Structure 1
Amino acid sequence: MFRRAPEQAAASADERPGFVARLRARLNRGASWLSRDLTELFTGRDIDAAILEELETRLISADVGVQATERILTALRARVARRELTDVGALIGALRECVVEILAPGAQPLVIDAAHRPFVILVVGVNGSGKTTTIGKLARRCAAEGRSVLLAAADTFRAAAIEQLEVWAQRSGAEFAAQQPGADPGAVVFDALQAARARGIDVMLADTAGRLHSQSHLMEELKKVRRVMQRVDPSAPHEVLLVLDANQGQNALAQAQQFS
């Protein structure tokens, strides 16, 4: 039987950090350090080799990737050598610039081709990545641009997915197409696409059930959805959007490769 030493006794209620402080400390673990934790760690210190080494460790720990980390640190070391980065604010700003420089070449705006009516967007991704919420935002954006929108609830598996998408349709002023929970996703998109064509809809956004990229049978189901769409419009879908969690690190690349 072990007993706690007196000097290690639990802190009094007055000395304990509050709930919000404890929650913030937990949320700031792992990959969520990019601004707040770096500022706290480096404030008051000169930007030197030791700080850059610590930054390198944190980038690797956050699963940024070895090649990307090396590229970022090479650029930062060069700027430190030129005395361009003298405080933590400048370092964080330079870090952001490096990340943007890496990501910018892959940026591609969503262009809705009016030649396709409806312009069909299939939204895919793993569970919990934010597909349905993204669809709601896109629907609002399209409506603000003067386009008519139809949301197709092809996620017939997740509890309340259909109801959630219907709420987004109501908020964005979009039309809505759905079937009963458990219905075949292919049948949902087939009927939705036919309805969108009949109503002269400009954009159709199709929600899909979340699936891990390693689940081959569910990936095959996505291929089936695509084939069914093409019975109505051989060129559909005109855009496939993969929704990723920004905190997933290198796993996001694996997902993109499998969903492509």
Structure 2
Amino acid sequence: MGFFDKIKKLNIFSGFSAIDDDFYDELEETLILSDMGMDTTLKAVEELKSRVKGEKIKDEEGVRACLRRVLQEMLAVGDQGLKLDTKPSVVLFIGVNGVGKTTTIGKLGASLKGEGKKVLLCAGDTFRAAAAEQLTVWAQRSGAEIVKQHEGADPAAVVFDAVSAAKARNTDVILVDTAGRLHNKQNLMNELNKISRVIDRELPGCARETLLVLDATTGQNGLIQAKQFREAAGVTGIVLTKLDGTAKGGITVAIANELQIPVKYIGLGEGVEDLRPFDAEAFTEALV
């Protein structure tokens, strides 16, 4: 089974008979149930209607292909690759607790190591009990190095140590874990700003990514989280986790469309190899 075959296919075209109002009503309902959200669904269906009429599409496969193109274009926002063209480059991971942030860092670290890069993990989540220990396990598993301090330490101080170590060790990429708190946006913003100032001061002009990790199974709540984090930090990309056979992947389109932030990676399981660069074409192929 191919990687994207794990994504639950939507039965949009089951019982397809004609391209009429009933079909479009059913399509709207299906897309909303797939967690695409009302605004994104209406935009997609209106665009599909316009193209079906303009291109005089009459058959099911033609409509399918057209819908795929519409969704692909909605997903095509920003650069979907990671910008890692300085040495070292920095990737900051943000997101609430429980979304798979630390696991994602470990998986990406393993992937970058596999590409021959020298990777340093920074245990900047000093508030969650055992966060550093969990990241240490991933460092050992992936062969990456790690910098950490005691629980409750100043996250910006840990980042400073990690940057210093990276410069001394000729590291290619620093992957920074951060605390997953959202209940007080001001605290979160202050903490992320402090970390950013350390990076700006110690690595001026370095390539930086800020990846927001979201749990696909939370649906529209994930979109709300994304909006809040976007306000608190300059998010450059989304990592969507837990997009397995039970997740409804329409949230991917909603995030890209409503926030204009590219989805850069998706996670479909627990294995190291289950984090992959997002492929809009393969994704829409599986979704439709």
Matched, 1:184 2:144: no
**Structure 1 partner of 2:111:** 141
Deviation at 1:250, TM superposition (A): 4.0
Please point out which of 210, 215, 221 is paired with 2:180: 210
Q: 1 CA distance for matches of 2:114 and 2:31?
A: 39
Answer yes or no: is the 8 Å Cα contact 2:90–2:173 preserved in 1. Answer: yes
Deviation at 1:111, TM superposition (A): 2.3
Please point out which of 73, 80, 91 is paired with 1:108: 80
Matched, 1:256 2:256: no
**In the superposition, relative to structure 1, how do residues 201 and 223 fare at CA in structure 2: closer, same or farther (>3 Å)?**
same
**Structure 1 partner of 2:57:** 84
CA-atom RMSD, angstroms?
2.8
Q: 2 CA distance for matches of 1:178 and 1:124?
A: 17
State the one-letter code of the partner of 1:186: A
Answer yes or no: is the 8 Å Cα contact 1:150–1:203 preserved in 2. Answer: yes
**In the superposition, relative to structure 1, how do residues 65 and 211 fare at CA in structure 2: closer, same or farther (>3 Å)?**
farther
Matched, 1:120 2:93: no
Deviation at 1:65, TM superposition (A): 4.0
State the one-letter code of the partner of 2:167: R
Deviation at 1:148, TM superposition (A): 0.5
Q: 2 CA distance for matches of 1:178 and 1:78?
A: 55
Answer yes or no: is the 8 Å Cα contact 2:12–2:26 preserved in 1. Answer: no
TM value normalised by structure 2: 0.66
State the one-letter code of the partner of 1:139: G
**In the superposition, relative to structure 1, how do residues 139 and 75 fare at CA in structure 2: closer, same or farther (>3 Å)?**
same
Q: Bigger shift: 102-111 or 89-98?
A: 89-98
SS at 1:154's partner residue? coil
Q: 2 CA distance for matches of 1:73 and 1:228?
A: 46
**Structure 1 partner of 2:121:** 151
Deviation at 1:107, TM superposition (A): 3.6
**In the superposition, relative to structure 1, how do residues 250 and 239 fare at CA in structure 2: closer, same or farther (>3 Å)?**
closer
Q: Bigger shift: 139-148 or 77-86?
A: 77-86
**Structure 2 partner of 1:15:** none
Answer yes or no: is the 8 Å Cα contact 1:242–1:259 preserved in 2. Answer: no
Identity of aligned residues (%): 47
SS at 1:244's partner residue? strand
Greater RCO, CA 8 A, separation 6+: 2
Answer yes or no: is the 8 Å Cα contact 1:211–1:219 preserved in 2. Answer: no
Deviation at 1:199, TM superposition (A): 1.3
Q: 1 CA distance for matches of 2:58 and 2:142?
A: 45
Q: 2 CA distance for matches of 1:237 and 1:209?
A: 22
Q: 1 CA distance for matches of 2:58 and 2:186?
A: 48
Deviation at 1:188, TM superposition (A): 0.9
Unaligned runs of 5+ in 1: 1-32
State the one-letter code of the partner of 2:23: I
Deviation at 1:113, TM superposition (A): 1.2
Q: Describe the superposition over 1:71-93 as per-residue Cα deviations: whole angstroms up to 9, x where unpaired.
A: 31123224554663634x76555
**Structure 2 partner of 1:64:** 37
Answer yes or no: is the 8 Å Cα contact 1:213–1:259 preserved in 2. Answer: no
Matched, 1:52 2:24: yes
State the one-letter code of the partner of 2:84: I
State the one-letter code of the partner of 2:22: A
Q: 2 CA distance for matches of 1:74 and 1:34?
A: 24
Q: Describe the superposition over 1:20-64 as per-residue Cα deviations: whole angstroms up to 9, x where unpaired.
A: xxxxxxxxxxxxx9734546xx33544431121122234446352
Answer yes or no: is the 8 Å Cα contact 1:226–1:236 preserved in 2. Answer: no
Deviation at 1:179, TM superposition (A): 1.1
Q: Describe the superposition over 1:212-232 as per-residue Cα deviations: whole angstroms up to 9, x where unpaired.
A: 286211221111122233343
TM value normalised by structure 1: 0.73
Q: 1 CA distance for matches of 2:91 and 2:47?
A: 38
Deviation at 1:104, TM superposition (A): 0.8
State the one-letter code of the partner of 1:35: K
Count of paired positions: 222
